[in-house]
């Protein structure tokens, strides 16, 4: 038996928001794969929860006429990985969330929970940063959209006001069309582990496939929240693919990150991973885009 004060099962989005407004201390509960464990550990014991489990409008993936892809937050990791729209347009995201936990966890855990937890190690978050994902947030006064890059306040804290709920993750066409990306999760085990470092690179090549027209680099666990490395990106955009480009990319990235020492790994080891994985992920992304590595 879980140490739970009360659970309210919301029937739709408006009902969930109303319940959140009426119970300011209640915590929204999605897949439960993190929260139920925190209850068991005692960290969230005795609290009240608002279950979103039965809200079908918070599940699913669609693509509109403009080609923008909307992922509803209660979509489970495995449903994302196996969804035809994801396989076709956002393969990096499907591959990244296929590295969360183990198979059963991926059948339960949701992408919305992964983001709203506010943890830096979320496999979906760094990847979504490189797609410039827009978050649709619904609250008592209506809907607002914010970029995921502005969503994180600090470890475990995100920009959700009282009564607000993440109701959509949108990736616009210009942020995936022509891009090829690669996510590397570095962990001690190949499954059932949390990333020591996560690195996502999304890049777009020019027509002759020898220059980087656009690059996005994002990390998990390289700082208190998932983060983009804008300086590293700016240093290589428009450049011709060459061994020195990879060197520049990883060296500038090192100046932007701020990993910590934890029981999983030391700061120095994480810095080494930042340096190495940023290069490897960029190389793989270039290869996926049909480019050649000149080394």
Partner 1 sequence: MIKVIHCIVNGKEEEIPVDIRESLADMLRHRLGLTSVKKGCEVGECGACTVLVDDEAIDSCIYLALWADGKKIITVEGLQQHTSLLTPIQQAFVDEAAVQCGFCTPGLIITAVEIVGSGKHYSRDELRKLISGHLCRCTGYHNILNAMERIVEEAHKFVGNEY
Q: Quote the least distance from Cβ 85 to partner 1, whole Å.
A: 19
For position 33 contacting partner 1 by CB under 8 A, the verdict is yes
Spatial separation of the C-alpha atoms in residues 44 and 172, rounded to whole Å? 36
Q: How far apart are CA 26 and CA 44, in angstroms?
A: 11
Size of the site for partner 1 (CB under 8 A): 26
- For residues 79 and 216, which CB has a smaller minimum distance to partner 1 in the complex? 79
Note whether 241 and 294 are within 8 A (CB). Answer: yes
The correct pick among 18, 21, 23, 51 for binding partner 1 (CB under 8 A) is 51
Place of tokens 């209850």: 39
The 133-172 contact track toward partner 1, x by CB under 8 A, reads: ----------------------------------------
Question: Which range in 19-27, 34-42, 122-130, 205-213 contacts partner 1 by CB under 8 A?
Answer: 34-42
Nearer to partner 1, 55 or 86 (CB): 55
Range 61-120, binding partner 1 (CB under 8 A)? 78, 101-105, 107-108
- Least distance in Å: CB of 76 to partner 1? 8
Residue with tokens 């929260």: 35
Interacting stretch for partner 1, rule CB under 8 A, among 151-159, 175-183, 184-192, 203-211? 184-192
Please answer whether residues 263 and 181 qualify as being in contact, where contact means their C-beta atoms are separated by less than 8 angstroms.
no
- Spatial neighbors of 276 by CB under 8 A, at least 6 apart, are 250
Among 9, 15, 210, 213, which residue sits at the site for partner 1 (rule: CB under 8 A)?
A: 9
Contact between 53 and partner 1 (CB under 8 A)? yes
CB of 64 to partner 1, least distance (A): 28
Q: Please report whether residue 40 would count as binding partner 1 according to CB under 8 A.
A: yes
Is the Cβ of residue 51 or residue 206 nearer to partner 1 in the bound state?
Answer: 51
Name the minimum Å distance from CB 103 to partner 1. 5
CA distance 39 to 240: 52
Residue 32 sits in the site that holds partner 1 (CB under 8 A): yes
Q: How many CA atoms lie within 13 A of 42 on its CB side?
A: 0
How many CB atoms within 10 Å of residue 1? 3
Residues 192, 33: Cα–Cα separation, whole Å: 12
Q: How far apart are the C-alpha atoms of 224 and 118, rounded to whole Å?
A: 9
Closer CB to partner 1, 143 or 191, in the complex: 191
Using CB under 8 A, pick the residue from 21, 36, 237, 271 that binds partner 1. Answer: 36
Q: Answer yes or no whether residue 15 interacts with partner 1 by CB under 8 A.
A: no
CB 226 within 8 A of CB 220: yes
Tell me if 56 contacts partner 1 by CB under 8 A. Answer: no
Distance between CA atoms of residues 264 and 8, nearest Å: 36
Tokens, residue 279: 């290069």
Q: Please state the three-class secondary structure of 169-237 as a single string.
A: EEECHHHCCCEEEEEEEECCCCCCCCCCEEEEEEEEECCCCCEEEEEEEEEECCCCCCEECHHHHHHHC
Per CB under 8 A, residues contacting partner 1 are 1-4, 6-7, 9, 32-33, 36-37, 40, 51, 53-54, 78, 101-105, 107-108, 190-192
């Amino acid at each position: 038996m879980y140490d739970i004060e009360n659970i309210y099962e919301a029937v739709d989005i408006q009902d969930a928001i109303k319940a959140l407004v009426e119970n300011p201390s209640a915590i929204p509960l999605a897949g439960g794969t993190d929260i139920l464990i925190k209850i068991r550990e005692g960290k969230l014991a005795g609290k009240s929860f608002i279950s979103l489990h039965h809200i079908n409008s918070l599940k699913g993936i669609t693509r509109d006429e403009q080609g923008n892809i909307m992922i509803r937050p209660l979509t489970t990791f495995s449903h994302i990985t196996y969804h035809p729209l994801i396989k076709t347009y956002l393969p990096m995201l499907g591959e990244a969330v296929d590295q969360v936990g183990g198979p059963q966890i991926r059948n339960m855990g949701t992408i919305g929970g992964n983001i709203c937890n506010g943890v830096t190690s979320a496999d979906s978050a760094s990847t979504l940063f490189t797609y410039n994902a827009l978050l649709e947030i619904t609250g008592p006064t209506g809907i607002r959209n914010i970029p995921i890059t502005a969503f994180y306040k600090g470890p475990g804290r995100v920009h959700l006001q009282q009564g607000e709920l993440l109701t959509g993750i949108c990736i616009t066409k210009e942020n995936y069309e022509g891009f090829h990306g690669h996510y590397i999760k570095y962990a001690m085990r190949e499954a059932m582990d949390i990333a020591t470092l996560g690195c996502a690179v999304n890049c777009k090549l020019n027509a002759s496939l020898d220059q980087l027209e656009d690059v996005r680099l994002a990390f998990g666990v390289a700082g208190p929240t998932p983060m983009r490395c804008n300086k590293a990106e700016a240093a290589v955009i428009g450049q011709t693919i060459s061994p020195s480009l990879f060197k520049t990319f990883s060296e500038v990235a090192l100046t932007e990150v701020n990993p910590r020492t934890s029981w999983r790994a030391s700061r120095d080891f994480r810095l080494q991973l930042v340096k190495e994985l940023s290069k490897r992920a960029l190389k793989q992304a270039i290869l996926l885009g049909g480019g050649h590595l000149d080394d």
